[in-house]
Structure 1
Amino acid sequence: MTRRGGTGPTLVVSALLAVAVLSGCSGGSGGSDASGGSGGPSASAAGRTPSTSATTAYPSGAPTGTVLTEPGTTVALGSDATVSWEPRQGQVGTVRIKVDRIERTTFVKSFRDWRVDATTKTYAPYFVHAHVTNLGTSDLGGAAVPLYGESAANALVEPAVFKETFKPCHPSVLPKPFPAGRSVPVCVVYLVPGRGQLVGAAFRPTQDFAPIVWKSAS
């Protein structure tokens, strides 16, 4: 199919040595993908197994009196965790995250304007809906909260990164400005390899941080 008015954005999905492409087929405007072609969003969907030697250290700089959730904690969906990380060099952010729900979708339902090739169809698309509240003093506008998906294979799945608005699941980054006290909903897209199942969401700002994981209580 051809997009009305020109070629639409392209979603590039990298998993190990394979590269799958979703090409737009109707509506919208084009952008520039990571490979320099016509494109929009991109995602690295390779799973990462959490490190067994992860530390429990947060960066210093959280507001005095803030009680941070212990790294490695499992939290029920719909519950809060208070975390801190460095979204930019020299900046410390402290937020309360509540992961509301994990939504499994399909390419047919949510990517109707995209041409999906055979390789990409081996992934399972998911949306993670959350609320983020700024508890610190830094303006975190434009920052992406380091929230990964956790698959049933005990692997962390990186979020898809979109260069333009993806209407079925938006926004994925914090709005500008995002000052102290502000709270917003966010939605993050994950593509799970091997048509796998996403069973949780994980806060993991660095590779040596023991993830804080949200999972269903059932």
Structure 2
Amino acid sequence: MEITKIKAILSGKNGVELLQAIAEQYPGQVIFSTSFGIEDQIITDWIGNKKLDIKIFTLDTGRLFKETYSLWSRTLERYGIAIDTYYPNTEEIQNFVSQKGPNAFYESVENRKTCCYIRKIEPLQRAIKGAKIWITGIRAEQSLNRHDMEYIEYDEVNDIIKIHPLFDWTFEMINSYVKSERIPYNVLHDKGFPSIGCAPCTRAIQDGEDFRAGRWWWEDQSKKECGLHVTTK
């Protein structure tokens, strides 16, 4: 089985060594999705500094924070690498906003999930098409749902193998590494935003709140996900 083979290849490796090994084993078939969160910036740093054969892409939903766009520009300047950008289907987003309004996602879970699908999931499907390995910045402690994942897993929905190099890292480890290596990061992280998504759907969290409490905070749900990392049909 492919995952068994990959686990054997990556045994004993972590961090940039893990990325080097997987890029060498699957040349031209490895992609990395960045939303410019602090975890993603570490992985971008590894790829950029080592010039690894891993394509980086991002999803521009059209509703990102201005701080995210500023970091995006700083990242391009720092590493001199391309970041492929995928946007929502123009007709689909136009129809949704025309029929429902610009803030319809606040009105119902169904509307919010439709918005996430148009702005994130459908563009993602285009971005990963044809790739073998998908690298992410997912960490186990980010939510109960993610805690149940493994650092290497098969994504049945998208028919792709996912690898999470920072899966066992704590938020304290992430912060310490970024500062010691002087990696550019989103200033919103210093303002109580551990997770940063679309501006209308993300707020800072208070002391003692769950890591994901700032995402879709108006919804009464224990597992808040947009659908990007649902791995079973």
Say yes or no: TM over 0.5. Answer: no
TM range (shorter): under 0.3
TM-score by length of 2: 0.27
Higher strand proportion: 1
